[in-house]
Amino acid sequence: MCDPFELTETLKREVLLYVGAEGGSVKLYGVRTNDGWLYQKDVVDQTPLMLGEHEIRHSSAFTSSWPEALELLDRNRWQRLSPIRVHPEFRQAIWTAVQQRYTGENPEADLERWRDRCGIVV
């Protein structure tokens, strides 16, 4: 992880990956810098609302490497969630990561939604 980083008005977070499931979502944000990308993960879990509790929200610290960004995502089994949005510049990297993490028995059907969101033509 890199040191805490304050966003300025000139640097904005872009959604690199947005995955969801009933009651929650995981987003990986990216910030473009002169030295490359910084990554941050946000998690929202609204399932406690069903029990009268407050939703769970948390954001990670920023990290400066793609492998560290994937480690952040892997804490939430993101590849099992439904892909909603994939940033065009990260489609191939995310598709590769999903394939590496796939553990099911029917990859053709199970990975179809990921292929579609990542723009992979078979």
The residues, ordered by sequence, that sit 6+ positions from 39 with a Cβ below 8 Å of its Cβ are 16, 28, 29, 30, 31, 62, 63, 64, 65, 66, 68, 69, 72
What are the tokens at 28?
Answer: 């990986």
Given 3.10.450, 3.40.1000, 2.60.40, 1.10.3470, which CATH number is that of 13-88?
A: 3.10.450
Question: How big, in percent rounded to 5, are the helix, strand and coil portions of the chain?
Answer: 35, 30, 35
Task: Check: pTM over 0.95? Answer yes or no.
Answer: no
Q: Can you give the residue ranges of every domain in the chain? A: 13-88
pLDDT in tens, 65-111: 999 999 999 998 899 899 999 999 999 999 999 999 998 888 888 89
Amino acid at position 86, single letter = V
Q: Do the Cβ atoms of 101 and 70 come closer than 8 Å? A: no
For strands 56-59 and 13-21, give the pairing: unpaired
